[in-house]
Structure 1
């Protein structure tokens, strides 16, 4: 059953924006590293800004840049589409979890607002929903704030990219795995869940060891989903 009395207020938007302040350092570093990677791959400043702000896909942008090469052929393009879809598949469930909150809103409000959905503001706002909050301004304010900080943070990273010959020298290649590892902490709900995570990670690692490339994203996600259906609380 859908919840009732869903509201939207400026107070809720401000509350959502303020909730994001503690995660600013992580967003800024993450966005700056993408700017550096984009510069290393040869994207222009305008291309980097547009991809970062309009695609707005976080981890998927990094994966796409790993595969990207010039000239861009059909095979590379299909590979970029495939791994990006696999990484973003989690958004299907994340978006569905917002249905009780945003489901009563008219489509012209709901669907544009979903553009600002990320792992970060989803975790922050869903915690407020579980506490009884029904002002969806919390979601909107946090989403707009994360997008704004993310869009601006790519700028210094892009110009720093011309000064860094190898991002691995500064450990920038560890930002993406560290980001996802940090996301697991608030999502952990019990020991049984750990088994499905371990199975997903194990299958992904074996796939990467045997076949290389990015097939581990598909196999790990599939194995984790099957294991979670039977093992999780």
Structure 2
């Protein structure tokens, strides 16, 4: 009796433990200064735009989209029309298309989980949580509680940060005054360094940078985010396929 060849490609369910959850939670604590300042900046910007506190709070809680929230807020009008709401949603969708690639990268690890477990976890995924999780997995870890713990901490910190930001609007109207725009890039670089695997990563990373800069220069909007991510994914897939053929 022949076995189903596709079955060997299906990841086995990853384990989950509260120890892993708290490990991810603790690792995410390192992001607190950047997340707080970034989220407070949005609260301040929302106050300047004339949003009520509840508007800003639910915006922060339901969208959970970091930089694209700032971009969408630039389109905010009072009263808010359906046309403006659609434009805001389109901007957030475009900037966050990169989440499709981040989610795909988690499939070898979490792909064996049933949908009722994986989909809610993916719904609160953020870039810092993804980096923490991928770094842990690259180090040999399998407990997906680490990913969930990081996501939960970042989500809670993000929605709480809007409160002081909204009421400290005078100090935080311009977040760049405190270098908030540099905090998260520095965090990403710091977390990505240990994930570097040498020559295998050089080409995709270089292509992503070149494509993103090129698209940003010639195409308006935030399509450069998606273009850079997709180009790196295609290059990485081609290199991985070539290495498999050589090994085979």
Unaligned residue ranges in structure 2 (runs of 5+): 1-8, 240-248
Paired residues of 2:31 and 2:187 also in contact (CA < 8 A) = no
Instruction: Find the counterpart in structure 1 of residue 5 from structure 2.
Output: none
Q: Give the C-alpha shift of residue 16 in structure 1.
A: 0.7
Q: Give the C-alpha shift of residue 191 in structure 1.
A: 5.8
* 1:126-177: CA deviation from partner (whole Å, max 9, x where unpaired): 111112211111111111111111111111101011x34x833x62596347
Distance 1:61 1:8 in 2: 32
Q: Give the total of aligned pairs.
A: 222
- Is 1:78 the counterpart of 2:89? The answer is no
* 1:171-230: CA deviation from partner (whole Å, max 9, x where unpaired): 2596347635753562773266324313322331344xxxxxxx3312x24653575467
Paired residues of 1:121 and 1:139 also in contact (CA < 8 A) = yes
- Is 1:175 the counterpart of 2:180? The answer is yes
Once the two structures are superposed, the pairs formed by residues 11-30 of structure 1 within 5 Å of their partners are 11-30=19-38
Instruction: Find the counterpart in structure 2 of residue 141 from structure 1.
Output: 149
- Is 1:204 the counterpart of 2:209? The answer is no
Distance 2:226 2:147 in 1: 29
CA RMSD across the alignment: 2.7
The verdict on how the C-alpha distance between 1:112 and 1:223 changes in structure 2, with shifts beyond 3 A counting, is: closer
Q: Which has the larger radius of gyration?
A: 2
Instruction: Find the counterpart in structure 2 of residue 121 from structure 1.
Output: 129
Q: TM-score, normalised by structure 1?
A: 0.82
Instruction: Find the counterpart in structure 1 of residue 49 from structure 2.
Output: 41
- Is 1:217 the counterpart of 2:229? The answer is no
Unaligned residue ranges in structure 1 (runs of 5+): 208-214
Distance 1:174 1:29 in 2: 9
